[in-house]
Amino acid sequence: MSEPVRVALVGATGLIGRSIIEESIGRRNDVQIVAIARREMKLPQGAKMEMVIAEPANWGEVLGVVMPNVLISALGTTWKRAGKSESAFRAVDYDLVLDTARAAVKLGIEHMVSVSSAGANPASKNLYLRVKGEAERDLSKVGFKRLDLLQPGLLRGSRERDIRFGEGFARAASPLIDPLMRGKWRAYRSIKAETVADGALKLASRKAAGRFTHDNESIWRAARDWAKRAA
């Protein structure tokens, strides 16, 4: 039996981060999670994991102590939570993502899984998609042996701290809207947060070197593999 993958998770308090923790319950033989966060959170029942609370400036030191095999980043904020400030938004979705990645590479961590977004493009006129695209572009230059970039469409799941009316309406309407989204719009179809989490956990165990970009369908395939291993 292979050794479990030791994962450092940043962005643990968000929708995808919490889902990753939930989807790892009962899978200690496959994955061991060490969450690194700037604030405490209530762990789901049954979670057997480590959690380190530290200021982002100290996350590199924490990585040096826990020494994971893989770094998973589920970092991200919103325009509202960033105070409608472009610099505050970039500080999380670009600066913190890149700073954590660079610290990991310096420590010899060779694999990163980063949750981005469908439509990420450094040339986009949309701030959110542009910053996500810039982060993807520059993560590719950091020096990981393997980099997995997840580009999910609209995320379906319950957010604890961030109620978004427009996004909530889109999620509710997604069963009707998704079948109509074809061609290039197919990538923006909704996807469950736990599916993205399962996909991220499965990809964390992959060994082949390279840079891999995963759309909804690729994430679904990885998630199915993760579920099969648990069966």
Q: Name the DSSP class of 205.
A: T
Domain assignments of the chain as residue spans, ordered by start = 5-230
Position 216 scores a pLDDT of: 96
Question: Identity (one letter) of the amino acid at 158?
Answer: S
Q: Identify the pLDDT of residue 159.
A: 62
Q: In the structure, what pLDDT confidence band is assigned to residue 178 with cuts at 50, 70 and 90? A: low
Confidence of residue 180 (pLDDT cuts 50, 70, 90): low
**How many C-beta neighbours within 10 Å does residue 47 have?**
15
Rg (C-alpha) for the chain, rounded Å, is 17
Reading phi first (left if > 0) and then psi (alpha if -120 to 50, else beta), residue 171 is in alpha
Residue 1 pLDDT grade (very low, low, confident, very high; cuts 50, 70, 90):
low
Q: What is the largest CA-CA distance in the chain?
A: 49
CA distances (Å), origin 126, targets 86, 92, 119, 131, 146: 12, 17, 10, 9, 28
Cα dist from 4 to 29, 92, 213, whole Å: 5, 29, 24
Angle at 193 between CA 217 and CA 93, to 5 degrees: 95
H or E segment at 71? Answer: strand 70-73
User: pLDDT band at residue 157, thresholds of 50, 70 and 90?
Assistant: confident
- Domain 5-230: give its CATH code: 3.40.50.720
* Start-to-end C-alpha separation, the chain: 16
